[in-house]
Amino acid sequence: MLVLLFCLAAGFRILLSLSRTGPIVVADEIGYLANARVLAGGPPIDLSTATYYYSGSSLLIVPAYWLSSDPVTIYQLALVVQALVSAVVLPLLYALCREVGVSQARSLAAAVAASVCVDSVFWSDYVLTESLFSCLLILWVWMGVRVVRFGAVRQGYLSAVCLGVTFGLLGATHPRGLILVAVGGVVGLAFMRKIGLLPVLVCAGTAVVALGVGLWLNVITMRANYPGRSLSSLIPVNGGSDRPGTGLADQAFSTSGQVWYLAVASGLLALYGVLHAWHLALTGDKALRTTRLAAAVLVTGAGAAFTIGSAAVLLVSAPTRSPDYLVYGRYVAALMPVLIAFGVVGMLRTPDRTIWILRGATIALAGVLTVLVGIGLNRFDTSTPPRPFPIPGVSTLASWIPGNISRVHQVPITLVAMVFFAVCCGVVIRPGRRSRAAVVALITVSGVALSVSAVTSIAQKSDDFGYRAGAAFDVPLVTRTERIAWDSSMAGGGVPNIVARLNFAYFANDATIEQFDSTRQAPPDSASVIAASPRFKGDAIGLTRAYKVPGREIVLWTRGR
Q: Flag whether 419 is in a domain.
A: yes
Q: Flag whether 470 is in a domain.
A: no
The pLDDT of residue 246: 56
DSSP secondary structure letter of residue 547: E
Side chain identity, residue 429: I
Whether 486 and 351 map to the same domain: the answer is no
Element (H, E) at 325: none
The answer to whether residues 498 and 454 touch, using CB atoms and an 8 Å cutoff, is: no
Q: Which of 402, 437, 463 is the last residue of a domain?
A: 463
Query: CA-to-CA distance for 226 and 219, rounded, in angstroms?
Result: 10
The pLDDT of residue 461: 87
Q: Which of 421, 436, 463 is the last residue of a domain?
A: 463
For the chain, what is the largest distance between any 2 Cα atoms, rounded to a whole number of angstroms? 84
Whether 51 and 10 map to the same domain: the answer is yes
Side chain identity, residue 383: S
Whether 455 and 500 map to the same domain: the answer is no
The answer to whether residues 265 and 329 touch, using CB atoms and an 8 Å cutoff, is: yes
Whether 14 and 89 map to the same domain: the answer is yes
3-state secondary structure of 122: helix
Whether 403 and 522 map to the same domain: the answer is no
DSSP string, 510-532: TPEEEEE-TTT-PPPTT-SEEEE
Query: CA-to-CA distance for 481 and 434, rounded, in angstroms?
Result: 62
Whether 434 and 497 map to the same domain: the answer is no
Q: Flag whether 201 is in a domain.
A: yes
The pLDDT of residue 312: 63
The pLDDT of residue 239: 40
Q: Flag whether 468 is in a domain.
A: no
Whether 128 and 7 map to the same domain: the answer is yes
Residues of the chain with pLDDT under 70: 235-247, 311-321, 404-407, 468-474, 491-494, 560-561
Query: CA-to-CA distance for 158 and 142, rounded, in angstroms?
Result: 13
The pLDDT of residue 499: 82
3-state secondary structure of 274: helix
DSSP string, 156-213: HHHHHHHHHHHHHHHHHH-HHHHHHHHHHHHHHHHTHHHH-HHHHHHHHHHHHHHHHH
Whether 455 and 495 map to the same domain: the answer is no
3-state secondary structure of 475: coil
Whether 506 and 549 map to the same domain: the answer is yes
Q: Flag whether 72 is in a domain.
A: yes
Helix axes 71-87, 2-17, angle to 10 degrees: 150
The answer to whether residues 46 and 227 touch, using CB atoms and an 8 Å cutoff, is: yes
CATH of the domain at 503: 3.40.190
The pLDDT of residue 243: 44
Q: Flag whether 487 is in a domain.
A: yes
Query: CA-to-CA distance for 86 and 118, rounded, in angstroms?
Result: 12
> How many C-beta atoms surround the C-beta of residue 137 within 10 A?
25
The pLDDT of residue 241: 37
The pLDDT tens digits of the residues spanning 89-122 come to: 999 999 999 999 999 999 999 999 999 999 999 9
Q: Beta strand 512-516 with 555-559: parallel, antiparallel or unpaired?
A: unpaired
Would you give the distance in Å from CA 442 to the centre of its chain?
Answer: 25
Side chain identity, residue 431: P
Q: Flag whether 546 is in a domain.
A: yes
Whether 454 and 539 map to the same domain: the answer is no
* HSE-CB of 514 using CA atoms within 13 angstroms: 16
The pLDDT tens digits of the residues spanning 31-74 come to: 999 999 999 998 899 888 888 999 999 999 999 999 998 888 99
> How many C-beta atoms surround the C-beta of residue 182 within 10 A?
13
The pLDDT of residue 401: 81
Side chain identity, residue 276: H
Domain that holds residue 290: 2-463
Report the length, in residues, of the chain: 561
Whether 24 and 160 map to the same domain: the answer is yes
Q: Flag whether 214 is in a domain.
A: yes
Query: CA-to-CA distance for 470 and 41, rounded, in angstroms?
Result: 28
Element (H, E) at 125: none
Q: Which of 434, 463, 492 is the last residue of a domain?
A: 463
Whether 481 and 458 map to the same domain: the answer is no
How many folded domains does the chain comprise? 2
Q: Which of 102, 94, 126, 163 is nearest to 22 (CA)?
A: 126
